[in-house]
Amino acid sequence: MQPHEFKDYRPPQKPEEKGLTFMDYGMICMTTFGVYTSLAVASFLNLILVALAWRMYERYRKGDYDYE
C-alpha cells in the first residue's frame, strides 16, 4: 500500500464541550419565568413566544445560523 492510498477509517473527533455560560443560565431563568407567567395568566400566545425564543436560542448556540 502506498502512503497516498491510506484511508482514515477512524471516527471523527468530537469537538470540546463549551459548558454553560452566564448567558445560558440567564436564558434558562428567563424561559422559566416566561413559562410560569404565561401559565399563571393563562396566555397561550406568551407560551408560544417563549417556546419560539428558546428554540431560536438553541439554534444560535448550536451554530445553525451563519452570519458570513
Looking at residue 53, what is its pLDDT? 94
With a cut of 60, say whether residue 4 has pLDDT above it.
yes
The residue written with cell numbers 448556540 in the block is 61
Q: Cα separation of 23 and 29, whole Å?
A: 10
Looking at residue 67, what is its pLDDT? 59
State if pTM tops 0.75. Answer: no
Q: Supply the DSSP string of the chain, one letter for each residue.
A: --GGG----SPPPPPPP----HHHHHHHHHHHHHHHHHHHTT-HHHHHHHHHHHHHHHHHHHT-----
Segments making up each domain of the chain, as ranges = 22-61
Q: Which tens digit of pLDDT belongs to each residue from 6-65?
A: 777 788 887 777 788 899 999 999 999 999 999 999 999 999 999 999 999 998 888 766
